[in-house]
Amino acid sequence: MAHTYSARSRAIEPFHVMALLARANELQAAGHDVIHLEIGEPDFTTAAPIVAAGQAALAAGHTRYTAARGLPALREAIAGFYGQRYGLQIDPERILVTPGGSGALLLASSLLVDPGKHWLLADPGYPCNRHFLRLVEGGAQLVPVGPEVNYQLTADLVERYWDKDSVGALVASPANPTGTVLGRDELASLSKATRERHGHLVVDEIYHGLTYGMDAPSVLEVDDSAFVLNSFSKYFGMTGWRLGWLVAPPNAVTDLEKLAQNLYISAPSMAQHAALACFQPETLAIFEERRAEFARRRDYLLPALRELGFRIAVEPQGAFYLYADISAFGGDAFAFCQHFLETEHLAFTPGLDFGRHLAGHHVRFAYTQSLPRLEQAVERIARGLRSWQG
Ligand SMILES: Cc1ncc(COP(=O)(O)O)c(C=O)c1O
């Protein structure tokens, strides 16, 4: 008999960009110089003080499990960071250290979603969110959003899309793929809209720190009962170490701890010891230099793409992505990506990876390459547009 793997695993879509990435690797193996603007992680390696702390942790034998909630010293350091960055007093008891922001998402979905229940999510958005919900037998109610709402859920949209099976809303600020940021008032009205419906507000703050010309407010400034996902991957540049955290209301912590014990026992020990170095002034200075570099890249690539005819309707204030409308050139976004890969050896991500709404005529560029590389990419885009027959 043919195998039947679970319906929940069959319901999960792969990243469509992976097919392009496989082709990009083939082209690279054949000796072509491929420029990668599809990758959603900083091009910088982990900052030296963190690497040194990781090496010291290994040498000291910190190779075992930690407490499920994470090292107390790290939870305190994270709480201290909320004080420093946002002026917030967060009890370290409310913080759980997780394997990446992905681990925090797994905990939050396991805690908050019963079978058949769903969260409202913006479309376009980060695709794994709806997949995590599916894995816990819940689901996503995708809400189409465009430039008119800064590609973000609003209180009005919550009101419009909330139904008897809705249990919460998940928003990301800054968002992937659009880079848009929610202001304090918007967070407060989303909080009010979900609380009025006895639902939960979950805010993905994974790209915090990577904002340009402004700071993103944390939802915890306006709503102490919200769940916050965060990560050492992006601003802290530790993608491969697999470390993140969740801030939860006090009454949720015991249940979350139980889930953590069962789902993954603890976040990686060496990574947790290494991450303690993130909060030293010299390491924070490195992150700030990198933030400034990302800002320079955005300030170069955004006008360059607009000049070439891409429509980027709202200025992205954070993350390292530009979500661009290719309608002016005609044709389908996936074919457009294929064309640039084949003819110009330039990789970027089709809209299909971020949902359904707007997907066929949008692409995402990640400015996770140096400025000289971005300049080469722009030359290739200009040339590739001339040969594109949408
Ligand atoms: C919006 C968003 N949330 C969560 C994640 C998960 O990242 P990590 O598990 O590395 O923290 C990502 C990664 O790209 C993301 O873009």
pLDDT tens sequence across 310-321? 999 999 999 999
Residue 21 CB contacts under 8 Å (≥ 6 apart), including other chains:
38, 347
Rounded distance from Cα 102 to ligand 1 centre (Å): 6
Rounded distance from Cα 241 to ligand 1 centre (Å): 13
Q: How far apart are CA 336 and CA 332, in angstroms?
A: 6
Site to probe by mutation for ligand 1, drawn from 15, 152, 176, 321 as the one with most ligand atoms within 8 Å of Cβ, is 176
Enter the pTM of the model.
0.96
Tokens 């930690």 found at: 66
Q: How far apart are the first and last CA of the chain?
A: 45
Q: Is the CB of 176 under 6 A from ligand 1?
A: yes
pLDDT at 20: 86
Confirm if 211 and 197 have CB atoms less than 8 A apart: no
pLDDT at 267: 98
Rounded distance from Cα 128 to ligand 1 centre (Å): 8
Q: Is the CB of 49 under 6 A from ligand 1?
A: no
Rounded distance from Cα 2 to ligand 1 centre (Å): 35
CATH number at 49-280? 3.40.640.10
pLDDT at 2: 62
Question: Do the domains at 7-45+283-385 and 49-280 have one common CATH topology?
Answer: no
Summarize pLDDT for 41-73 with one digit per residue, the tens: 999 999 999 999 999 999 999 999 999 999 999
Residues in the chain: 390
Confirm if 352 and 334 have CB atoms less than 8 A apart: yes
Residue ranges per structural domain of the chain: 7-45+283-385, 49-280
Q: How far apart are CA 176 and CA 42, in angstroms?
A: 14
Distance of CA 230 to the CA centre of its chain: 9
Q: Is the CB of 15 under 6 A from ligand 1?
A: no
Q: Is the CB of 191 under 6 A from ligand 1?
A: no
pLDDT at 1: 56
Residue 266 CB contacts under 8 Å (≥ 6 apart), including other chains:
65, 66, 67, 68, 70, 260
Site to probe by mutation for ligand 1, drawn from 41, 121, 126, 173 as the one with most ligand atoms within 8 Å of Cβ, is 126
Q: Which of 351, 347, 349, 382 is nearest to 27 (CA)?
A: 347
User: Coil, strand, or helix at residue 203?
Assistant: strand
Rounded distance from Cα 175 to ligand 1 centre (Å): 10
pLDDT at 321: 98
CATH number at 7-45+283-385? 3.90.1150.10
Cα torsion 205, 208, 212, 217: sign: positive
Rounded distance from Cα 229 to ligand 1 centre (Å): 9
pLDDT < 50 stretches in the chain: none
Q: Is the CB of 206 under 6 A from ligand 1?
A: yes
Q: Is the CB of 100 under 6 A from ligand 1?
A: yes
Distance of CA 6 to the CA centre of its chain: 27
